[in-house]
A and B are shown apart, each in its own frame.
Chain A
Amino acid sequence: MTDLAIRRSVTVWLAIGATGLVFAVLANAAWAQGNRGAIALAAAAFGGMATILLRWTQGRCVEFGILLASLLYGSAVAAAQTRFAAFPASGIAGLIAVQAMTLLAGRQARLLRSAPVSAWIGLILIGGYIFVWALAPILAPYSESQIVGVEYVPWGPNFLLGTDYLGRDMLSRLLYATRNTIAIALAATLIGFLSGTAAGLLAATIGGWVDNALGRFMDIAMAIPQLIFALLILTLTGTSITALILVIAFADATRVFRLVRAVSSNVLALDFVEAARLRGEGLNWIMRREVLPNINAPLLAEFGMRFCFAILFVSSLSFLGLGMQPPTADWGSMVRENAGLIVYGEVAPLLPAGTIAVLAVAINLTVDWLLYRASGLKA
């Protein structure tokens, strides 16, 4: 026990040191360049470290830490960029950063080290995307919508990937598009997951008419083709980012509901749930403490997959002109905007398509590993 306590306090001190270092370096660089995005990133790093510290010293403060970190990061970025769209995106960035850090620092680190090569490739690629996403304003040589040259400039030292049909820098737009597309897809998937999981758990745990009512409602919702449904709603409400996120979230929630209901029904049939019920535990305890921890592996795997679909969905809506509106950059609309170049044998329109494909592959590589792990778990 004392051995553990010593190791724990050493880790806490190391973490405090690392926090100070990261924060100091980033804040310093930001001060020198006047870059407010970097200050935001430093805030996120601080929030992440705070979470780890809380986790080690207090035990169960992960949720609180995540909240703290995303709030810190989100408000910092929103203040720095004075853009509404950046707010949810940045909050989620903080969340992901924190989760990744706790994963590395916590007892799951051993598990991560046992990951196969394919999973590592996936994780590294995803890490790269997260890096680009968090640092897009620093990495991008130009701004997202600034016209910096003539149209269709070929690749060269000034414009590494050339310019697009309006003379905007392709590389900068690609970097910003990473941020926009992933943010919307992630926000939509998260909302869809939270609501779908909550509904699925409720339906499975309560059963009876609640199960029936929710189940039939989801069946009806799923009977409408996803794309047609999205087109209909977006035509009615106009193409705001909020509407886009909610439409995708709703479509996702129906699928998540079915999965959660199915896997939690299996868990609910086990004796330990009956033991909890006999103890007189309420709905909240049974759902959150008995069922949820036992279905998180398939949920995590499903999350990766749904996230992938959401990116494709955002991109296809953008391609149809109903997704993100110009001049905001996003992968789908970038493909459409530069589609004309394909005729001349140029690869420019393939770049945003390629980034979609690579991210999809990266996520699937990681998800495959998580699925393998989930199936390997004992019942």
Chain B
Amino acid sequence: MSGVSVSTDPLLQITGLTVEVRADDTWRPVLHELDLTLHRGEVLGLIGESGAGKSTAGLAALGYVRNGSRFAEGSIRFDGRELVGAPERQLRALRGLRVAYVAQSAAASFNPAWNLITQYTEIPVKRRLRTRQQAEADAQNMFKTLLLPDPKGIGYRYPHQVSGGQLQRAMIAMAMSCQPELIVFDEPTTALDVTTQVEVLTAIKLIVERFGTAALYISHDLAVVTQLADRIMVLRHGCKVEEGDTRQILDKPREPYTKALLGQKIERRRSTPSPAGQPLLRIDSLSAAYARRVSVLQNVTFEVGRKQTVAVVGESGSGKSSLARAITGLLTPTRGTIALDGKLLSPRMQQRSRSDLKRIQMIYQSPDTALNPRQQIGEVLGRPLEFYLGLRGKAQERYVARLLEMIDLDQSFARRFPEDLSGGEKQRICIARALAAEPELIICDEVTSALDQLVAQDILRLLQRLQQELSASFLFITHDLATVKAIADQIVVMQNGMVVDQGSRDSVLKPPLHPYTNLLLSSEPKLDPNWLTQLLATRAQAYG
């Protein structure tokens, strides 16, 4: 709430807005009496975890509610005009022209059958604001403004012919096609790598600064929002927690929840010195390809010591997940060997013995798809016990109870189904399932990236504790360097299927840095409003 009296009316004024969603036969509020004021040219960051109602608030700015939801109370005034209950025709005249929306996944939002420029020009031409030629010229200018490569030609490509970051920038350009007064950005960088995220953030910053467009920036990542927002509003469970200037939120947060969000990232673990003797896992000049042609791994060599945690870091497409698939035997390598405890493993999973399979366990990125929705937790955890250790009946139940205890969950979870669990609880169950096999190597494939910030930190703490309690080694696949700093003993940096840098945590993360490691490190957003500006300045200097 800005107490300052302003001369002009606010562009967007939401007062006492409650949005409800239909669940079974009752209406349940997802947004509760929200007040929000946005002035012309201002950027407001909406922060919150999933289910906080931030997307609902963003869509409300367009006078839109999702299917199965309704505006229950309150008002939304855009430039003085009421949107709640306004006829559809009036709302249509607003959307795209005066308020635009940029969705999280550009790949899912573009029509794959049309090229980019056709989709850019659709609205200005249909609304008779521009002729087709004018609109295409606009598009090329806008592509140029947003620093897209080949601004003249890129519009004639189809969505699958440009990269994820370029597509997201094209979408931002498209939102600008009618020079709207307000753009709602709904997690536009969440699905992107850190390096690509910098490009998209730069594009958004350019738009906001050059055209004076007001924006609602929705994100779960405080560091990202800090780069763009004048003010920040924190939401939780559909209610406003706190609102204030970016500086004030960062320096003097009032609410405990905001403090938790800002709180110190997870502490560093003291790294275990690499033990002498034979490594647990040895990967020797491993290469692999899909369909025998598309090479995904080239000459990868590294070791995982006993009780050690090795982090494999890289962007999407760097081959880090393919590496996990090769180690588990799902992807047959074209060359090279994988040895566990000095013994060569069969390249194909089908040829490995049950005891070999037992020794390597995997935890997946998305806990939603990693658990069978039709199996109770007791069965999910009980099956590996029965399969590998031959435990049945009471002995199995006791062991399941012990596993649940290890991951800090109640005994009653054994009788629940996955859909009754939160994302963090599901991921804990996945961890317990891996532990049930009593493995020697646990592969964690991006285990925290699908989770909310605070939940992810809890999972990391749990893994840190398990590292100390168990004698297992961890192979930690991630793109998140904060995680790496917290949990790794050794780091392997991958790019385009090759290992570009490896060594102990300190030797990789301390200068002199490998250029690619440096790029990854510097692209990691920091809780400093000037981080992006400074980063761009440094990079401009470095590259002339």
Contacts and interface: CB of A to CB of B under 8 A. Distances in A.
Nearest to A377: B373
Contacts of B372: 272, 289-290, 293-294
Given A114-B24, A280-B357, A289-B375, A275 B387 contact: no
A289 B386 CA distance: 15
**Contact count band on A:** 10 to 19
A281 B372 CA distance: 14
A179 B373 CA distance: 38
**Contact count band on B:** 20 to 34
A378 interface: yes
Interface in A259-284: 270-272, 274-275, 277-281
B472 interface: no
B182 to A, nearest CB: 33
Contacts of B364: 271, 274-275
A272 B371 contact: yes
Contacts of A270: 369-370
Contacts of A289: 372, 375
A378 B384 contact: no
B373 A294 contact: yes
Given A378-B373, A378-B419, A279 B384 contact: yes
Contacts of B329: 278
Contacts of A294: 372-374
A379 B24 CA distance: 18
A275 B370 contact: yes
Interface string A119-159: 00000000000000000000000000000000000000000
A132 to B, nearest CB: 34
Contacts of B428: none
Nearest to B430: A275
B370 A277 contact: no
A371 B374 CA distance: 18
Contacts of B371: 272
Interface of A is mostly: helix
A55 to B, nearest CB: 15
A107 to B, nearest CB: 11
A108 B51 CA distance: 28
> For A114, A271, A277, which residue has the most chain B Cβ atoms within 10 angstroms?
A271
A279 B369 contact: no
Contact of B374 (A275, A277, A293): A293
Given A271-B364, A294-B373, A378-B373, A278 B387 contact: no
A375 to B, nearest CB: 13
B437 interface: yes
B354 interface: yes
A127 to B, nearest CB: 25
B330 A275 contact: no
Contacts of B419: 378
A275 B373 CA distance: 14
A278 B362 contact: yes
A270 B371 CA distance: 9
A289 B387 CA distance: 14
A280 B387 CA distance: 9
Contact of B387 (A271, A277, A279, A379): A279
B433 interface: yes
Contacts of A379: 368-369
A142 B349 CA distance: 67
B366 interface: yes
Interface of A: 114, 270-272, 274-275, 277-281, 289-290, 293-294, 378-379
Given A280-B352, A280-B354, 4 more contacts: A274-B364, A278-B362, A289-B372, A379-B369
